[in-house]
Amino acid sequence: MSAVEYETVIGLEIHVQLATVTKMFCGCTLSFGDPPNTHTCPVCLGLPGALPVTNAEAIHYGLMMGMALGSELAPRSIFHRKNYFYPDSPKAYQISQYDEPLCLGGRLGDVRIHRVHLEEDAAKLVHIGASGRLHASDASVVDFNRCGTPLAEIVTEPDLRDATAAAEWLRMLRATLRSLGVSDVNMEEGSLRCDANISIRPVGNSELGTKTELKNMNSFRFIERGIRAEVARQTAIVREGGRVEQETLHFDPRTEAITSLRSKEEAHDYRYFPEPDLTPVAITQAMLDRAAAALPELPLARAERFERDLGLSPDAAHLLAFRTELGDYFEAAVAADGAQPQPLANWVSNELVPRIGADADPAESKVEPAALAKLVSMIDANAVTGAGARQVLDKLVAEGGDPAAIVEAEGLGAVGGADSLGPVVEAALAANPDVAEKLRGGDMKPIGVIVGYVMKETRGRADGKEITKLVRQQLGL
């Protein structure tokens, strides 16, 4: 058994279905969930004599993506035929870009982009049978509605080193693409699919090991689990003296099993040659100007602005910037009431989100941005305690409304000052003489007992700092 320590090297290939109205090379409308084979034509079915025409809007979206990722935009790019036979490809080739892609290079965060190119999606194979996978007694049918859907393939350099980092980076990419509006990036519907190229090498070695490719993972959780499983498989092979074979693999999230699909093809296996029925794509200044004008503020820039202008912590800024709906809600709340940004950010992410659901859009909840901002301001003004504010937020989530009115109606206003809170503190000390004695002796650890007593008596309306102050005063500390 080898005692060598290995590091993981990961590169991602991400397929993004573009949100154009029609397919990549024909006029068929895009659809999801429509009856099978109802959005087809001679072009996307590959019938003899049918000629493709490049979708100009797909080129526009590709340029936007390249600009957002800082890529070099090719003044001229061409499409190729990528030849392979599979039932989901009616032409027995895919129109894609090979050595002259639309975008080269770039970066998102700490990961370099190798290239972004455009191509068409394949049809959808549906396996029929109790096993869920194809056997001799089962059957397969093909739905050609998806065939020809515009795809952008984003290929990274092998800059990722573990499964968690890969999933986090993919989340960052998804947020960026969503902000661009080029795709709905819905992984459940296949609008965003990820292949991971994985290899291992001895720590300190700069040479890349033999890579395998995990295909078509469609959730962040599956991506993490799949990469971890493949790293474990490769490590076990190498430690036992074997050699990793270059191949394409399938990860089954139900069983954690990894199975081989086929040996990994090289470029020459696809016999690329220029698509003879399409002219080269020539990028004009007008096309560049249009793409630049369409770029919104990107999540990374938004996070930097939240830190710089609003004083948010890096973690809070990143969360709000890369969850577009949370960032929009937060900014609306800041503009509505002028609440302190960092406490407001904390209440959005730590209090509101858990109550409405991690994936919910707060703008669709009953809690208006102005209402949450007002509640946070009331905490800052000592009009309500944190515990009382949480009760108010529960009410807002259930029914909506005005936080001040809820505080008044429910009697949740903060109790403070010696006149109102002093007698309650005195009663707490009298009810817990042993604790009071320890406090007099300088041991402040059990003060939580007194605070808890007062909080119970005031229904959470007392301020903890005020309680501590009054305890010290009454005990002469």
CB 291 within 8 A of CB 63: yes
Q: Which domains does the chain have, with CATH numbers?
A: 6-292 (no CATH), 297-410 (no CATH), 418-475 (1.10.10)
Q: What is the pTM of this model?
A: 0.80
Residue 150 φ/ψ, nearest 5 degrees: -65, 130
Kindly report, residue by residue over 334-361, the tens digit of the pLDDT: 999 778 999 999 999 999 999 999 888 9
pLDDT of 137 higher than 70: no
Q: What mean pLDDT is predicted for residues 279-300?
A: 96
Residue 223 has pLDDT above 90, yes or no: yes
pLDDT in tens, 42-87: 999 999 999 999 999 999 999 999 999 999 999 999 999 999 888 8
Chain mean pLDDT for the chain = 89
> Tokens standing for 181?
């509006």
How does residue 33 score in pLDDT terms, banded at 50, 70 and 90?
confident
Q: What is the mean pLDDT of the segment spanning 227-252? A: 93
Q: Tens digit of pLDDT for each residue in 438-457?
A: 777 777 777 777 777 777 76
Whole-number pLDDT of residue 152:
98
CB 118 within 8 A of CB 64: no
In tens, the pLDDT along 401-442 reads: 999 999 888 877 766 655 567 777 778 788 888 777 777 777
Mean pLDDT of 2-25: 93
pLDDT exceeds 80 at position 129: no
